[in-house]
Amino acid sequence: MIKAVHVLNGPNLNLLGTREPSVYGHETLAMIEARLAKTCEAQGVSLHFRQSNHEGDLVSWIQDAGRAGEPVILNAGAYSHTSIALADAIKGSNARVIEVHLSNIHARERFRHHSHISSVAQGVILGFGAASYDLALQALLAATKPES
């Protein structure tokens, strides 16, 4: 059973709810955090929910989670398509990561079709809007339940 889940959000995700709602939806990051917190609390799991527009913050938080043996739900935003540093942090710290995207990156601009995170992630959930976070959390919780 996991004790804590880290939900890490990259650049511009602090603008959710107002940034291109036709692409990213109307839910704010605070709304997503509140919903995930309720789910975690019901499961007896701590939630560490963070957002940064700075790549180095995300690298440090991934390393911290990996060292603690705690899983990560990562929406790296545009860094998914550009950051080898995030991929290296995941590999180097043995962090267990589920990559999340609100939109279907494969149905968008060509430069968004490749993610450096996907090849080092345990799984990828995309295209379900804010529910992508819930699906990732459900997957983590289901994967760590003790066998009956």
Which of these is catalytic: 54, 79, 81, 101? 101
Is 101 annotated in the active site?
yes
Catalytic residue among 24, 79, 116, 133: 24
3-state secondary structure the chain: CCCEEEEEECCCHHHCCCCCHHHHCCCCHHHHHHHHHHHHHHHCCEEEEEECCCHHHHHHHHHHHHHHCCCEEEECHHHHHCCHHHHHHHHHHCCCEEEEECCCHHHCCHHHCCCCCHHHCCEEEECCCCHHHHHHHHHHHHHCCCCC
In the annotation, is 79 catalytic?
no
Catalytic residues: 24, 101
